Structure 1
Amino acid sequence: MFRRGSFKLVLTAALALAVSFPAFGSQVANATTPFRVGMSISPFADSQLAAGVKYTDGSMTADDIGELTTMYKNHGANEVFVRVSTDSAYPSVGTNHSLARALERADTAIAASLPLNVELGLWKHYGDFAGQPQPDFSEYPSITLPGAWETLTIGQMVDALEQYGALVAQKFEDKGVTVNVWDLGNEVDFGTAGVSVAPMPGAYESEQGPNWYKAPNAVNPTIGTESVNSLLAMTEPARIAWLETNLWPYEAQLLNAVREGILTVFPDAKFSTHISQSLSGNFAIAFYEAMEDNGFPVDELGFSFFPSAFASSNDSILVFQYAMKAVKAHFAKPIFLAEFAYPSGAMSGTYAAWGNQQKGYLLKPEGQSELLRDLSSWAAALGFSGIRPWAPDLVYGGYGWEPLALFSSNPSSSLTKTAHGTIDSIALGAASPAIDAVPALMDGFENNNFTQIGWTNSGADIQSTYKYEGNYAARFNWSDSITHPLLYGTYFYHDIKVEYARFSPNFTSSQHFIAEWFDGTNWHTLEDISGTFAWEKKTFTLPASAANNVNFQLRFRSSGIGIVNYAYLDSVKVRGTM
């Protein structure tokens, strides 16, 4: 079963309530290695292909794992991903994350001349932020435990995990595959390898059985007194303080034990992990500091980010940028976006709540493509190591994930799924790094709705007859206006640029279309134009007083007399360097 649903929705809703940002400088790092285009066969690709799904990009059709890998590689992918549970063979429940399947993925990577990105989950079947089940080493006779996992001390767990790391690493070494990065754990915000707080109610009971959670009392009896939900109910400072005191020091020792085992086989190995709380710079910095301070140094800082899942904000991309900028400046290490997806259409079913459109990026294939391209361009400029689109091929079987995948079909019941332009987005974006690639504001009025994007409207409307691009543009009569404050003004931005297109077929010399910006005290005119004018794209570079200004606002208005005459506005963008 696909393990993302109601549990994830609870977390994203909770995290959106309180986001904080530490102060940071303007450091921008340059990548020293190729940007990781982590578009890869997902853990679900085998079941999709077995159901008869075929994937096409217009040039080739893939109906097996090797062909799908080739297709991804043709569009820039430069690694193969595999997620590994402690199941040695295919389990009877859940998705196949077994070591046996992982070694098949190693063969796939070798055949495609690509490195393998290995994630060791450190649970029997599956776990993530919603709960972290224990590992099960019963299928590995060389790893002997003195008792049930929950009865072990931290030292006993460390011994077992180090053996496991070495054993699994040797399996991949025997295959002769190149492993570029070892990801240890999956969304390990609140624990790993069974040393975690109590899970969300019902999490993973279909695989683990009811009441599977066993508090790791021999490690620290305080850990089991809290749960995922109780931690999320805390204020962020209280949550961080509790984790720093009671859980993260032990978690770092466990992750480092696996690292030490792998290093005995791959002495030059690189390591990462990833967390789900990607909208808080403070939380991320505290987590990775705790890992490093307690013995688990990472080479890459990993995060999950699903922007449309944050129901309380259509600015989560901007919040994510603030947080990642803070993290990058603090650690000066590469960041890897380990899980990312954005819808290409309306969401329904399990993921119905994941349909929150972000400003300027429509829930259409072109919106999905533009966002991933822009985000990749920005990430490459900031010094990210790469991006992995999560489950790009999960398109069939009632999961409700298809709009978040990179393929679709019309009708949706068709088993032949065609790639969106998004399949090229990471490679295209990374090839053109630009720190201002993701605008602070972008609106072409394609929602046919001012308030959804955050405009305050006085009299203007949206129509489809005249437009610069797309299907809609804003229309102004004799005294209409629209005003936008952005999320935090231009906080953290400098080198502000305003772009828009405007047109009037019938304004007279006494009728004016005016564009202006606000510095917190005064309005400043960008342009005041009267009479008729053709569609034209305008770009203005604002003075320094517009930068890092929480009071910044943008306004467009009309002035004059003549109720049957109109001006039109389209393709509004505010850009800046973070």
Structure 2
Amino acid sequence: MGASMTFRGIDANYTLIMESLNLKWWDRDGREIKDIFSFFRLKGFECFRVRIWVGDIGPSRLLYASEIIRRACENGFRIQPTLFLSDRWADLYKQPEPDGWAVTSFQDKLKLIKAYVSNVMDKLAPFEDKCLYYQIGNEIDYGLCGIFANDKKRRKDLRWLREKVWRKEAEILKESVKVIREEHRSSKPIALHLGKWWNYPLLNSFLSAMDEFKVEYEILCVSFYPTGIGANFDELRKVKDITREHGKALSIAEYAYPSDLMKGQFWFMSKPVEGYPLTPEGQASWIRDFIAECRSLGIYASFYWSPELYLTKDHRGRFPEPKDMPLTFGWGPMSFFDEHGRAKPCVNSLR
């Protein structure tokens, strides 16, 4: 997993919903893009991160994710399946267990997880050769699948996290890894994903706990949104050094850079990095330099989060949105397209 194997990845899981709503995209010359998967592949993306929630029907559930995988593979992508172990959004701020699992004991939950991961692996079996690696959980710093540090004061106590959260979290991870490695005999790498990469004591403590609890994985993934704190590339080098000390490769599970001030849910991601203004040109330059930095550092893969989602708060109410997968939360400035669906300069930053 060296610099020569740096994969340019994309997380564009809103595409099917947007297509179903008859939303369109246009290239830099004003031509309608007929197949957004093909467009992104031709622009230089190589691997597709696929969000998989618990359940069969609905956005990001198994049937939806399977169609994403089919479309991605037909267009020459590798895939990176991400098993959330939740039936809805799970991230740094929450890790809900699926509704049907909420009344079980922890041991019963492990049995449900084993059966669920096995079922997903059965569905993914035809695409095993296209898989880059499997990711278990999404931003699991403070828990996974209902095991979560809700108390913000207690979560600052790393010893408490280790004993009350990470110990059980490790059991969930080990059960999932066991299914992938032993039951389904996959030799693909396995990744874990943290969101709060800038908290180096937390990062080190989590990695040390996973080592102590004997969780087998090869890759640590982080979410890298630099305008949340105005972080430059030096911060990325520090994270790379920490993962190297623990014998893990580093991937960027999610990253993005805005072309304007953010509004809505992620309003706080509006702190520009020095040298990269919040303009379409600044966005394009940052993405180009970020990819070069990933290659230089030997980062295994990096996935741009939702470049297809150009909608803003101003689009709210114009069309029906899935309640569990809203589209108008304000991601537009991070998109590769302007608010009218026309490609920004950054579509040419991948090569």
Between Structure 1 and Structure 2, which shows a larger proportion of strand residues? 1
1:31 is aligned to: 3
Structure 2 counterpart SS, 1:125: coil
Is the 8 Å Cα contact of residues 109 and 177 (structure 1) preserved in structure 2? no
Residue 114 (structure 1) aligned to one of 77, 80, 96? 77
2: distance between equivalents of 1:247 and 1:183?
19
1:152 is aligned to: 105
Q: CA deviation at 1:72?
A: 0.8
1: distance between equivalents of 2:345 and 2:253?
21
Residue 317 (structure 1) aligned to one of 218, 232, 250? 232
Residue 280 (structure 2) aligned to one of 346, 365, 370? 365
2: distance between equivalents of 1:37 and 1:266?
27
1:424 aligns with 2:342: no
Is the 8 Å Cα contact of residues 110 and 177 (structure 1) preserved in structure 2? no
1:88 is aligned to: 56
Deviation track 1:494-522 (CA, whole Å, cap 9, x = no partner) reads xxxxxxxxxxxxxxxxxxxxxxxxxxxxx
Q: CA deviation at 1:37?
A: 0.9
1:183 aligns with 2:118: no
Q: CA deviation at 1:70?
A: 0.7
Structure 1 counterpart SS, 2:232: helix
Is the 8 Å Cα contact of residues 28 and 344 (structure 2) preserved in structure 1? no
2:23 is aligned to: 53
Residue 351 (structure 1) aligned to one of 250, 266, 281? 266
2: distance between equivalents of 1:307 and 1:158?
36
2: distance between equivalents of 1:101 and 1:188?
23
Residue 280 (structure 1) aligned to one of 199, 203, 210? 199
Q: CA deviation at 1:182?
A: 0.8
Find runs of 4+ consecutive structure 1 residues off by over 4 angstroms. 174-177
1:440 is aligned to: none
1:100 aligns with 2:100: no
Partner letter of residue 50 of structure 2?
Answer: V
Q: CA deviation at 1:367?
A: 0.9
Residue 196 (structure 1) aligned to one of 137, 141, 148? 148
1:244 is aligned to: 162
Partner letter of residue 220 of structure 2?
Answer: L
1: distance between equivalents of 2:283 and 2:164?
40
Between Structure 1 and Structure 2, which shows a larger proportion of helix residues? 2
Q: CA deviation at 1:282?
A: 2.8
Partner letter of residue 348 of structure 1?
Answer: K
Change (3 A) 1:176 1:360: closer
Change (3 A) 1:277 1:230: same
Change (3 A) 1:175 1:276: closer
Structure 1 counterpart SS, 2:266: helix
Change (3 A) 1:240 1:363: same
Is the 8 Å Cα contact of residues 31 and 380 (structure 1) preserved in structure 2? yes
Deviation track 1:230-267 (CA, whole Å, cap 9, x = no partner) reads 246x3xxxx32221222112111101211211222242
Is the 8 Å Cα contact of residues 121 and 186 (structure 1) preserved in structure 2? yes
1:382 aligns with 2:293: no
Partner letter of residue 242 of structure 1?
Answer: W
Q: CA deviation at 1:159?
A: 2.7
Q: Provide TM-score, normalisation by structure 1.
A: 0.54
Q: CA deviation at 1:197?
A: 2.2
1: distance between equivalents of 2:263 and 2:69?
35
Kindly report the root-mean-square deviation, in angstroms, between the aligned alpha carbons of the 2 structures: 2.2
1: distance between equivalents of 2:348 and 2:154?
39
Partner letter of residue 329 of structure 2?
Answer: Y
2: distance between equivalents of 1:384 and 1:273?
15
Q: CA deviation at 1:39?
A: 2.1
Which of structures 1 and 2 has the bigger CA Rg?
A: 1
2: distance between equivalents of 1:100 and 1:167?
12
Q: Single out whichever of 345-354 and 109-118 deviates more from structure 2.
A: 345-354
2: distance between equivalents of 1:172 and 1:362?
41
Is the 8 Å Cα contact of residues 164 and 261 (structure 1) preserved in structure 2? no
Deviation track 1:467-500 (CA, whole Å, cap 9, x = no partner) reads xxxxxxxxxxxxxxxxxxxxxxxxxxxxxxxxxx
Q: CA deviation at 1:61?
A: 3.1
Is the 8 Å Cα contact of residues 287 and 346 (structure 2) preserved in structure 1? yes
Aligned pairs for 1:481-560 (under 5 A) are none
Is the 8 Å Cα contact of residues 86 and 97 (structure 2) preserved in structure 1? yes
2: distance between equivalents of 1:245 and 1:176?
35
Q: CA deviation at 1:348?
A: 2.3
1:161 aligns with 2:113: yes
Q: Which has the higher contact order (CA 8 A, sep 6+)?
A: 2
1:230 is aligned to: 153
Is the 8 Å Cα contact of residues 162 and 259 (structure 1) preserved in structure 2? no
1:574 is aligned to: none
1: distance between equivalents of 2:237 and 2:126?
43
Structure 1 counterpart SS, 2:3: coil
1:399 is aligned to: 329
Which ranges of structure 2 fall in alignment gaps of 5 or more residues?
316-327
Q: CA deviation at 1:191?
A: 0.4
1: distance between equivalents of 2:129 and 2:243?
31
Q: Provide TM-score, normalisation by structure 2.
A: 0.87
1:262 aligns with 2:180: yes
Is the 8 Å Cα contact of residues 138 and 194 (structure 2) preserved in structure 1? yes
Deviation track 1:371-421 (CA, whole Å, cap 9, x = no partner) reads 12212212211110121111111112432111011111xxx4x3xx22223
Partner letter of residue 54 of structure 1?
Answer: K
Partner letter of residue 159 of structure 1?
Answer: K
Residue 300 (structure 1) aligned to one of 211, 219, 232? 219
Q: CA deviation at 1:130?
A: 1.0
Deviation track 1:90-110 (CA, whole Å, cap 9, x = no partner) reads 2xxxxx111110111221123
Q: CA deviation at 1:76?
A: 1.1
Aligned pairs for 1:3-42 (under 5 A) are 30-33=2-5, 35-40=6-11, 42=12
Q: CA deviation at 1:180?
A: 1.6
Q: CA deviation at 1:294?
A: 1.1
Aligned residue pairs total: 334
Residue 92 (structure 2) aligned to one of 129, 142, 160? 129
2: distance between equivalents of 1:103 and 1:260?
23
Is the 8 Å Cα contact of residues 30 and 381 (structure 1) preserved in structure 2? no
1: distance between equivalents of 2:234 and 2:161?
23
